[in-house]
Structure 1
Amino acid sequence: MRTATTPARSRPPVPQGRPSTRPARRTALAASLLLAAGLLTTNPPTAGAAPAPTPVTVTVNARAGLATVPATALGVNHAIWDANLGTDQTSDMLKAAGVRMLRYPGGSYADIYHWKDHTAPGGYVAPGTDFDTFMAAARRVGAQPMIIANYGTGTPAEAADWVRYANVTKGYGAKWWTVGNENYGNGHYGSAWEADHHPDKSATYYANLVVEYADAMKAVDPSIKVGAVLTMPGNWPDGITAGNDPGPWNQTVLSIAGPKIDFVDVHWYPGGTAAESLARVNHIPDAVWLLRQQIARYAGPNAARIDISLTELNVEQGRNTQPGALFLADAYSGLLENGVFTVQWWNVHNGIDRVSQVAGHTDYGDYGMLSSGGCTSDGSVCQPPLNTPFAPYHGLSMMNLFAQPGNQFIRAGTDQPLVTAHAVRRRNGELAVLLVNKDPDNAHPVTIDYAGFTPSGAEPTVHTLTNGAASITTGRADSATSRTLPPYSLTTLVVRPAEVVTGGPPTPRTPAVSAVTDRSATIFWPALPPEAGPPVKYEVHRQNGAISEQLGETTGSSFTVGNLSPGTRYTVNVLARDTAGRLSWPSPPLTFVTDNPTGSTCAVRFTKNNDWGNGYIGGVDIVNNGVNPIDGWTLTWTWPTTWQQAGSGWSGNWEQTGTTVTVTNTDDNRRIAPGGSTSAGFVGAYSGPNVLPTTFRLNGTVCTTL
């Protein structure tokens, strides 16, 4: 068994760390935002009694539906250097934690691994880790396999032979296959940890070979799903164009391989301190939104069929202690409620690394969620016995108690950044609410408001994981509407309804949108089948945070919404109500963005050039479409996120307050003649998903965008 020398995360031959370009993303802007949110410690507490924390209001909205929990939701990585991969004890522990998807053969080892002879030249292969042993373990766990075909040193024929052996010869029914692992890390962007023996290491070459892999593999078994490697928006090398590729990695791969793939695979290591990692969970909705926008824009016809998997996830600090557990539960929930079909922790066993004290407990710097039982190279520190669970294992177990396959995530939110909330509704009428207290020092009292749901007077079931605990405790809560959360804790409340409603209309299917303008949009959906009984009406609800706003109702299967704001992202659900007043579950969500005016006295073109991973050269071109000259101008826009900034600029006077950017003319460009234009530029910075602005106002008028 490997200990201190066990490869970290996913890649040989460099065992520790990520490329230097990633840590550089922890900018001063990110730190200032965390300070503003109260997520970084600034000054030590003064002597004397500390004031009681302000009660946190939690809102749980059963009318605001999100994604349904898939059977593949809870995943983890297995690796061929782990001699315990196939043991019954390991498999039984994974099963107990609710694992339903296992990835093999181990991140970057996949790009040196040859399945036929079970070798990985340049890496370590432990005994008892061959493919058949892995499949036996997966079956014991009750998990579907996700297999990484060797791109770096393999061939399409080798991958096709693997599919044949797995599904034709052995009848394993292995459905999910990814072509390679982190292949953007092959040196094309300057950092090289991923094996790649091809003469051309560009995104273009990778994408064209993905097409060959997909064709060869599906010729053997057309029922399999093939995935391509992308990069997580807001993380290196997202946004960067290298070599002669026509665009950044994601754009290039999707444009070429999009018609041939069934899903895209991304990884996310947010990095930073424990507080920074926990705060960066807020990046998830915008990162997934951007990724779906990239798929829709570049992947060709029927791009909506392409799913998203996130197959590596971990933290830099607190890997084995409570921050890792809090991050796991918060991030898994955020990713799954945004429609990612599997989330997989890196990994089961990995080995001891940098030992430190985190949150009052020894952290072994081990990316595994179960102890490898090893010691540091000098023998000064040893881990607990083999397979002792670390905190992230308990976090995964909490996810299994919270979000079960077939549950529907519903919108939940809080009014304080140190406490986050997620919720699901179950077919038996129950709601489960997951509460995450990210404050390492203070308990936080919470009050829970429910919309579209009335809790019963019965005591809810409560599951709690506190800092340093060796297991989750389960008991009864006094109330469904109030609770005090211990410091650095996970709490799940399972709440029964006051009345179990039987019957009622079925859940409407996913709506779509058409005729989108700057002020209106038409929402439409498939009518419920006649045998379901006609509903009296359908209701269209907008999600405004955790609050629902009913936009209207109709007896038909479409509704035109007016009074919308230009360039704004809207998420809506459709619910059906029958003659007895019973309300269905909310449909899956629809998210769309309104346009800007097609005719305006001004037009603006926003440009982004020379992106280097956390910044770029930005520009705005302003056009006077009116009949009168403009004599003095003020241009404004609002960033979609709090982690974006316009820095130093030129050809204008630049100022940013909060998320609002204001640019005023200089003496040289204050006058814009009818039909004329002027330009200004700035240095843009971002420390998370870079969702670009789409709506601009010139002297208060909303402009057309070019």
Structure 2
Amino acid sequence: MPKTLLRAASAVLLTLTALNIPPAYADEAVAVTVNARAALATVPATGIGANHAIWDSYLGTDDTADRLKDAGVQVLRYPGGSYSDIYHWADHTAPGGYVAPGTDFDTFMRGARRTGAQPMVTANYGTATAQEAADWVRHANVTKNYGVKYWEIGNENYGNGHYGAAWEADNHADKSPAEYARNVVAYSNAMKAVDPTIKIGAVLTTPANWPDGIVAGGDDGTWNKVVLSIAGSKIDFVILHWYPGAYDKAAHIPDMIQLTRRQIAAHAGPGSERIGIAMTEFNTGTSGAGENTQPGALAAADAYATLLAGGVFTVNWWNTHNGIGTPRQVEGHTDYGDFGLLSNASCTADGSACEPAVNTPFAPYYALQMMSRFARPGDQFVKAATGQAKVAAHAVRRPNGDLAVMLINTSADTAYPVTIGYAGFGPAAGAPTVLTHVNGATSITSSTAGSATSQTLPPLSLTTVVVRPATAPAGLPGAPGQPTATAVTDTTATISWPAATPGTRPIVKYEVHRQNGAITEQLGETGGTSLAVGNLRPGTRYTVNVIARDSGGGVSWSSPPLTFTTGTPAASSCTVRLTDQTNWGSGYVGSIDITNNGAPINDWTLDFTWPRTWQNLDGGWNATWTQTGSAVKVVASGPIATGATTNIGFVGSYSGPNVLPSVFTLNGTICTTQ
């Protein structure tokens, strides 16, 4: 083990000994790369959220509010999940459900203010009216002057039976997405007539989560397409819920966000870029698998960081208090199968097991607390990556020039030494501030340990390293504004951006950098505010940043990220059209039309690649289909005359966001994809 790691390793050894875990160390250090020039989203003031529920008798207590404040919770959602669609705020009733004493709206608001959190209210769509929602806005923001900004219309309204499963109350005779959307328009008009400053959210299905992709009888498209097409002009954000049921699904998040944004852009009409994305319910696991113990905490931190880095403006944990499930031992500690952040001291039906005292924090509580200390409002996420699947990394750059790196070790038995390399940032010498939460701990510890480039991560741990720059930045240019892409083809695009504000020296050029993992590749530079870039790959998603450089070599912060996708050739000897014929949420029937725009073809081979590892070919027809790795080959004998079209089909399956293949080659030639 390198000498620079001995001090941190000793601390890890003591921790492991205290937990009676035999210490084990990886033979080689994990390489962590942090690129301060590969900027992602700015940390919002609403990022860390949690749900409150009117059946929770501890909702209004000062101790609950103070616990949430200590965790850094910035948004509190009310009145709680599917209860939202049976709850009537004026008389504080929920026919068919239980309403605990001391959980009315005004009590909720008192607690939210004590926590210092913004409220998010879910208006009753299922069993109420637009007028009732408007009256709630009037009570909240006119009568009481609470200033409630965020208002959702309903909860999981696609669960009203329209797709075959019914758990969400819905008294409307028409339960289609079109009817929901028409009511969203009515609710928005009525509520904004009372307070035009509020933000209205509409419920969408989450990519690759039921019933996403399904078109029910009589509908003009999927739930999301119909809702956005009708109500897009009347909403300010969309609502996703995500219960991945496993602890290794953070890799799904970038595609989840990108597909949602693509749907918004395609269907919500002009000005759709204003529409934000809120994850108003999120929890990592499945009952009894580690909701309350360290695996759930590590997955929570990883998902929160990935969602916020992708531009989601709030992530709300389900739930503050929830209740005991099926207790079991997970990684040396009792897991109660409780989806809450805090214990509500409930017991199993047979009394054989009880949770600890009320408001005892569970492990995910410390994940939210670590997130609030790692990524503060106004910080900017930057790219970070590791060379070890068991170790995840996230990083933010702070306005004062500091860099914070959060490292997550998901291994249950191995302490990983890590070496951290930086691009676009020079760390100061000396030991940095290190925040750590380990398996079973009841607090986050703070120490000064290791170095900016060397740390050791205990098993099942969250570690945040706060590093100061070697040289305090001064007089540098401001960051360029949000870039845009125009004239995007299969191999070229024009990137433009608002000019940066000069520092003490004039700006001499701008550089456009492409993110490739945690590495950036410079695509070009210019003295102006627009650059035509070439040599791009067809059908490829690019994320780029722009930086300004002054006459003394000083470099600005990166611009916000721009993501765009190249197309395929505008003209080719072949054209391919792929359509999703029938979708059931985990698979679909795909139909491919191949048109020959060139000379007659006899035998032919069509090649394409699945964009993601979680996509597979289950079978095909009208040709011979094979899959090797993620590459699919389709071979057929028979002519395709000039101008003729032939059809082939397949069944595909997926276990994550289903990004469809977009680049097809016919006998080695890239086709135009329609």
User: What code does the residue aligned with 1:261 have?
Assistant: I
Task: From 201, 214, 232, give the equivalent of 1:240.
Answer: 214
CA–CA distance in structure 2, aligned partners of residues 580 and 167 of structure 1: 52
Counterpart check, 1:319 vs 2:291: yes
SS in 2 for 1:215: helix
Shift of 1:684: 0.5
The alignment status of 1:405 with 2:387, answered yes or no, reads no
Give the secondary-structure state (helix, strand or coil) at the position aligned to 1:689.
Answer: coil
How far did residue 482 of structure 1 move? 1.8
Which of 604, 623, 632 is residue 661 of structure 1 equivalent to?
Answer: 632
1:297 aligns with 2:266: yes
Separation in 2, partners of 1:563, 1:447:
34
Structure 1 residue 201: deviation in Å?
Answer: 0.8
> Once the two structures are superposed, what CA deviation does each residue of 1:243-297 show, in whole Å capped at 9, x if it has no partner?
31111111110010001000001100001xxxxx222111000000000000000
Q: Quick check: 56-65 or 632-641, which moved more?
A: 632-641
Distance across 1 between alignment mates of 2:524 and 2:380? 23
Contact persistence 1:281–1:331 (CA under 8 A): yes
Letter in 2 for 1:432: A
For the residues of structure 2 that align with 1:529 and 1:49, how far apart are their CA atoms?
52
Structure 1 SS opposite 2:471 = coil
1:631 shift after superposition: 2.4
Residues 332-356 of structure 1: per-residue CA shift (max 9 Å, x gap): 0000000000001001111111111
- Are 1:191 and 2:191 counterparts? no
Q: Distance in 1 between matches of 2:377 and 2:501?
A: 25
- Name the structure 2 match of 1:686: 654
Q: Which amino acid aligns with 1:574?
A: V
What's 1:562 paired with?
Answer: 534
Q: Which residue of 1 aligns with 2:604?
A: 633
**Quick check: 1:57–1:448 contact (8 Å CA) kept in 2?**
yes
Task: Quote how far apart the aligned CAs of 1:190 are.
Answer: 1.0
Cα distance in 2 between the residues matched to 1:639 and 1:421: 26
Pair 1:204–1:459, CA change in 2 (3 A): same
- Supply the distance in 1 between the matched residues of 2:295 and 2:214 (Cα, whole angstroms): 31
2:379–2:396 CA contact under 8 A, matched in 1 = yes
- Name the counterpart of 1:496: 468
Provide the secondary structure at the position in 2 that maps to 1:256: helix
Matched to 1:304, the amino acid is E
Q: Are residue 349 (structure 1) and residue 321 (structure 2) matched? A: yes
| Change beyond 3 A, Cα 1:579–1:71 | same
- Say whether residues 1:62 and 2:30 are aligned partners: no
Give the corresponding residue for 1:516. Answer: 488
Alpha-carbon deviation of 1:441?
2.4
Letter in 2 for 1:645: N
Residue 641 of structure 2 aligns to which amino acid in structure 1? A
Alignment correspondent of 1:106? 80
CA distance in 2, matches of 1:349, 1:414: 35
CA distance in 1, matches of 2:182, 2:209: 24
TM-score (norm 2): 0.95
The answer on whether the counterparts of 2:479 and 2:501 sit within 8 Å (CA) in structure 1 is no
Is 2:109 the partner of 1:138?
A: no
1:443 counterpart residue number: 415
C-alpha distance in 1 between matches for 2:557 and 2:502: 18
Using the TM superposition, give the Cα deviation of residue 173 of structure 1 relative to its aligned residue in structure 2, in angstroms.
Answer: 0.6
Of residues 180, 189, 192, the one that matches 2:154 is 180
Structure 1 residue 90 corresponds to structure 2 residue 90: no
Mapped partners of 1:305, 1:259: distance in 2: 10
Matched residue SS, 1:197: coil
- Rate the CA distance shift 1:208–1:494 in 2: closer, same or farther, 3 A: same
From 141, 146, 160, give the equivalent of 1:167: 141
Distance in 2 separating the partners of 1:230 and 1:378: 39
Q: Which moved more, 1:186-195 or 1:332-341?
A: 186-195
Distance (whole Å) between structure 1 residues aligned to residue 457 and residue 517 of structure 2 = 22
- Would the alpha carbon gap of residues 564 and 613 (structure 1) be closer, same or farther in structure 2, given more than 3 Å must change? same
Counterpart of 2:252 in structure 1: which amino acid?
A: H
Is contact 1:188–1:243 with CA below 8 Å preserved after alignment? no
Q: Where does residue 9 of structure 1 map in the other structure?
A: none
Q: Structure 1 residues 530 and 386, CA, compared in 2 at 3 Å: closer, same or farther?
A: closer
- For residue 438 of structure 2, the aligned residue among 459, 462, 466 is 466
1:156 aligns with 2:157: no
- Corresponding position of 2:7: none
Report the alpha carbon displacement of residue 671 of structure 1 after superposing the two structures with TM: 2.0
C-alpha distance in 1 between matches for 2:233 and 2:504: 36
Cα deviation, residue 698, structure 1? 1.0
User: What percentage of aligned pairs have identical amino acids?
Assistant: 65
1:12-59: per-residue Cα shift (whole Å, max 9, x none)? Answer: xxxxxxxxxxxxxxxxxxxxxxxxxxxxxxxxxxxx998945432111
Selected match of 1:279 from 248, 256, 262: 248
The answer as to 2:204 corresponding to 1:225 is no
SS in 2 for 1:218: helix
Q: Deviations over 1:652-690 (max 9, x none)?
A: 11111222111111x3xx321211222211111000000
| 1:36 equivalent in structure 2 | none
Deviation at 1:429, TM superposition (A): 1.0
Identify the residue that residue 651 of structure 1 maps to in structure 2.
Answer: 622
Distance change >3 Å, CA 369–CA 64, structure 1 → 2: same
Out of 587, 590, 593, the position equivalent to 2:559 is 587
Match of 1:307 in 2: 276
SS in 2 for 1:252: helix
Distance 2:501 2:470 in 1: 29
CA distance in 2, matches of 1:447, 1:329: 21
Mapping for residues 21-32 of structure 1, pairs under 5 Å: none
1:384 is paired with a residue whose SS is: coil
Instruction: Tell me the CA shift for residue 85 of structure 1.
Output: 1.0
Q: Which structure 2 residues correspond to residues 563-578 of structure 1 after superposition, within 5 A? A: 563-578=535-550
1:686 aligned partner, one-letter code: Y
Amino acid at match of 2:264: I
Which runs of 5 or more residues in structure 2 are unaligned? 1-21
Which secondary structure state, in structure 1, belongs to the residue aligned with residue 249 of structure 2?
Answer: helix
Offset from partner CA, 1:57-114 (integer Å, 9 cap, x none): 1110000000000000110011111111111111111111111110001111110000
What secondary structure sits across from 2:46 in the alignment? Answer: coil
Output the CA distance in 1 between the equivalents of 2:611 and 2:403.
Answer: 31
Pairing 1:598-617 to 2, within 5 Å after superposition = 598-617=570-589
Task: Quote the residue 1:703 is aligned against.
Answer: 671
Match of 2:19 in 1: none
State the secondary structure of the residue aligned to 2:241: strand
User: What letter corresponds to residue 127 of structure 1 in structure 2?
Assistant: P
1:333 pairs with 298, 305, 308, which one? Answer: 305
Q: Is the 8 A contact 1:506 1:532 kept in 2?
A: no
Whether 1:539 and 2:507 are equivalent positions in the alignment is: no
* SS class of match (2:158): helix
Q: Is residue 477–residue 503 contact of structure 2 (8 Å, CA) maintained in 1?
A: no
Q: How far 1:530 sits from its partner (Å)?
A: 7.2
Aligned equivalents of 2:259, 2:390: Cα separation in 1: 25
Q: Which moved more, 1:414-423 or 1:57-66?
A: 414-423
Q: Quick check: 1:508–1:586 contact (8 Å CA) kept in 2? A: yes
CA distance in 2, matches of 1:294, 1:416: 34
Residues 548-559 of structure 1 aligned to structure 2 (within 5 Å): 548-559=520-531
For the 8 Å contact 2:475–2:503, the answer to whether it is kept is no
Q: How many Å separate the matches in 1 of 2:79 and 2:335?
A: 26
Unaligned residue ranges in structure 1 (runs of 5+): 1-47, 272-276
Distance 1:200 1:535 in 2: 59
Greater Cα shift, 158-167 or 463-472: 463-472
Q: CA deviation at 1:634?
A: 1.3
Q: Secondary structure at the match of 1:661?
A: strand
Asked whether the 8 Å contact 1:364–1:383 carries over to 2, the reply is yes
Cα deviation, 1:391-411, whole Å, max 9, x if unaligned, reads 000111110110000000001
Checking the alignment, whether the CA contact within 8 Å between 1:86 and 1:137 is kept in structure 2 is: yes
Contact 1:53 1:443 in 2 (8 A): no
In the TM superposition, what is the alpha-carbon distance from 1:581 to its structure 2 partner? 1.4
